[in-house]
Chains A and B, each alone.
Chain A
Amino acid sequence: MKRTMKSMAYTFGILMASTGIAAAAECEVLTLGSAISLTGKYATNGAHAKNGYEFAIKKIKENGGIKVADKCYNFNVIYYDDESKGDRGATLAERLINQDKVQFMLGPYSSGLTKAIAPVTEKYQIPMVEAEGASRSLFNKGYKYLFAVLSTSEQYLASAVTLAAEKAKEAGKDASSVKVAIAVENDPFSLDIRAGVLEDAKKLGMKVIIDEKLPRDLSDMSAILTKVKLLKPDLLVVSGHSKGAATAVRQIGEQKIKTPMVALTHCEAADVTGNFGDAANDILCSTQWAESLTYEDPIFGSASNYEAEFKGSYPEYAEKKVPYQTAQASAAVYVFKDAFERAGTLEKNAVRDAIAKTDLKTFYGDIRFSEAGNNIAKPMVLRQIQNGAYNVVAPSGFASHEVNYPRKAN
């Protein structure tokens, strides 16, 4: 028995030595910093982002770590809880840089928090790759050390406008005949979405017949929906984070709104299928990423492989959709790995220059940064809830399913 145990231990040791796990153990530690929302109003999405960072760190370690010149490293992240408050995030960024001597940062959750932290990382010339701040106002300030792997927010629902135009043409009508209703929260992210929709609607000659701003603590939008009933738009666009999505789906169902196309943000965060069942059917939801897309890379494999392995590591997601917030957080860590390896040094300005020249294919999509630091290589995707499942329906090049049009009102 004792001999059997001994031989098993030897075999296990040999196996370990022949895999990346043993190799990874010899790597040095490369420390990143992140202020992230673990409490406060963004706690859920903050946790998604942190899980995405940690999963990527684990995968990179399993794949032999980061090779910088002739050395090998594994990432380690110092996290602080920003309590979903911008001022706290900025203070913690200072602490990470001045006390913990962190030279590279991963972003926080939300555009607001990124806006608060970016001036600090810029002041100390610390490269920050962020994954959760989509407001385009982040990228018109001339920052040199801020890079975002996600598409900017004005693109979130613009594809719904294009889709509405396509459907009008299929029906033998001109795109300019499409009437658009917009209801967005009065915050930088949602106002960007509104700007994107207005821009595209204007290009196509569409008429915007409702253009309303929702309050931050929205719990009732019956006033807008009554107007929708009277003015009968062809496309209704709503963006108000998860509360906006939840309120819209509940009241669109209750008030039997018959608008043929309804497009929202934050469907998954609001769990509109779980909470409202059939009322969510045929609603269009914008997403940065979907597991059914054909993207892939050598570390995470395909998008669907990422989803499966992530669920294996984090069983709490087993019954849910893996949120795109998690996938893009993993992609941000991957951008750092790629940049360190290309830079061949840990010197922060060399790494910053390498990040700026990123041209990477990942499970999350292509990543290539503009001069301003936003990712210009990856499109937004539009999914439709079809019998409770989120199916990709636009842009047409990525569509796995036909869009149900007009939407069936319950």
Chain B
Amino acid sequence: MDQILGNIGLLIEFPVVNLAIIIEGLMIGALFALAAYGLALVWGVMNVKNLAQGDFVIAGGYVSWWLVNNIGMHPLLGVPVAFVVMWGIGWATYKLVISRVIERDLFTSLLATFGLAIMMAQIMNLMFGSDTQSLTLDMPVLEFADGFIQLPMAKVLGVLMASALALGVVLFMKNSRMGQAIRATAQDARAARVLGIDTEKVYAFTFSLNSAICGAAGAIIVMVWVIQPFYGITYSIRAFVVVTAAGLGNLPGVIAAGLGIGAAEQYGGHIFGIGYQQAIAVIILLLVLIVRLLQQRRNRQVLQ
């Protein structure tokens, strides 16, 4: 308790630290949002809860890391390359696994994607080893407020790329024919089929797009943090919390929730200790679920 009070005292004594926490949290949250964005698509369109979401993120990181270390590619090029490679891996995964569980019960799809997560982690472990890996971008760190606010340009660039990608996907969903087909399928797959939309193609495209977004997110993460074959679960949990908090089908909400959870985790880490940082995301999830349940109950009472 003394430690918590001491930490709160520090935030009051040095108000600039609050700003530093928010900035850091938003930068982290932008990457959570990107990882969650694809999950929201797959969940909303195909009704598949992809427990391997984080493993696709890590796989994207390894694609970039491998290419940088083996063919000398620039780390920044890793983002588009990981996008393309993971698109292919996502398409193959859809054909081999996801297409077989897509209209089955919830338990089957959870089990299949859970198995996929374990398999992907083990394959990455066999291919790349269990050591943590990262890439370094030789970029300056901007400092403000006597060094309390720092903006590592590598992280800023990562956030900008993540934002550009998210914006690109939003525009694609809004303006392209495939985007419209995806939205129609998400609303009612049977009606979309009746209208002549090839929903099988839409599903394959959506899952591939999700994998590609994850791949790009992983290529950014390997430049700003570290990756390890078994880190997938970290990003899967965050992605699920973000999507649940945002509400299904609310893609702009996913971005807002990602940023909010990033900032909340940073604050939690400062006040309660870094060991509790992850618990903050789970607590947020529980609170959101409780609020939703209460809202549903109230709506039912009003209707009655």
Task: Spell out A's residues near B (CB within 8 Å).
Answer: 39-45, 84, 183, 186, 211-215, 217-224, 226-227, 229-231, 242-243, 246-247, 250, 254-256, 269-271, 275-277
A159 to B154 alpha-carbon distance, docked (Å): 35
Total A-B pairs, Cβ < 8 A: 111
Are B275 and A214 in contact, CB atoms less than 8 angstroms apart? yes
Q: Which of B133, B134, B147, B231 contacts A217 (CB 8 A)?
A: B231
Are A44 and B131 in contact, CB atoms less than 8 angstroms apart? yes
Q: Which residues of B contact A44 (CB under 8 A)?
A: 129-131
A108 to B269 alpha-carbon distance, docked (Å): 35
Q: Which residues of B contact A212 (CB under 8 A)?
A: 273-275
Are B233 and A227 in contact, CB atoms less than 8 angstroms apart? no
Q: Which residues of B contact A243 (CB under 8 A)?
A: 132, 226, 228
A67 to B150 alpha-carbon distance, docked (Å): 64
Are A40 and B275 in contact, CB atoms less than 8 angstroms apart? no
Q: Which residues of A contact B132 (CB under 8 A)?
A: 242-243, 246-247, 270
A232 to B129 alpha-carbon distance, docked (Å): 37
A43-B125, A221-B274, A223-B269 known; A230+B130 contact, CB < 8 A: no
Q: Which residues of B contact A42 (CB under 8 A)?
A: 130
Q: Which residues of A contact B228 (CB under 8 A)?
A: 41, 243
Are B147 and A230 in contact, CB atoms less than 8 angstroms apart? no
Q: Which residues of B contact A275 (CB under 8 A)?
A: 133-134, 136
A243 to B227 alpha-carbon distance, docked (Å): 8
User: How close is B54's CB to chain A, nearest CB, in angstroms?
Assistant: 10
Q: Which residues of A contact B295 (CB under 8 A)?
A: none
Are A254 and B152 in contact, CB atoms less than 8 angstroms apart? yes
A214-B274, A255-B150, A256-B150 known; A247+B136 contact, CB < 8 A: no
Q: Which of A40, A183, A213 contacts B130 (CB 8 A)?
A: A40
Are A39 and B125 in contact, CB atoms less than 8 angstroms apart? yes
Q: Which residues of B contact A277 (CB under 8 A)?
A: 136
Q: Which residues of A contact B20 (CB under 8 A)?
A: 226
A350 to B275 alpha-carbon distance, docked (Å): 47
A226 to B225 alpha-carbon distance, docked (Å): 17
B266, CB-defined interface residue at 8 Å: yes
A227 to B269 alpha-carbon distance, docked (Å): 11
Nearest residue in B to A84 (C-beta to C-beta)? Answer: B130
Are B231 and A219 in contact, CB atoms less than 8 angstroms apart? yes
Q: Per-position contact with A for B264-275: 1 when CB-CB < 8 Å, else 0?
A: 001001100111
Q: Which residues of A contact B133 (CB under 8 A)?
A: 275
Residues in B141-175 with C-beta less than 8 Å from chain A: 141, 143, 147-148, 150, 152, 154-155
A227 to B229 alpha-carbon distance, docked (Å): 30
Q: Which residues of B contact A246 (CB under 8 A)?
A: 132, 134, 226
Q: Which residues of B contact A256 (CB under 8 A)?
A: 141, 143, 147, 150
A45 to B234 alpha-carbon distance, docked (Å): 23
Q: What are 23 A-B pairs with beta-carbon distances under 8 A?
A: A40-B130, A41-B228, A41-B229, A41-B230, A43-B129, A186-B275, A213-B275, A215-B275, A215-B277, A217-B230, A219-B226, A220-B225, A223-B21, A223-B270, A223-B274, A229-B147, A230-B10, A242-B132, A243-B228, A255-B150, A256-B143, A275-B134, A277-B136
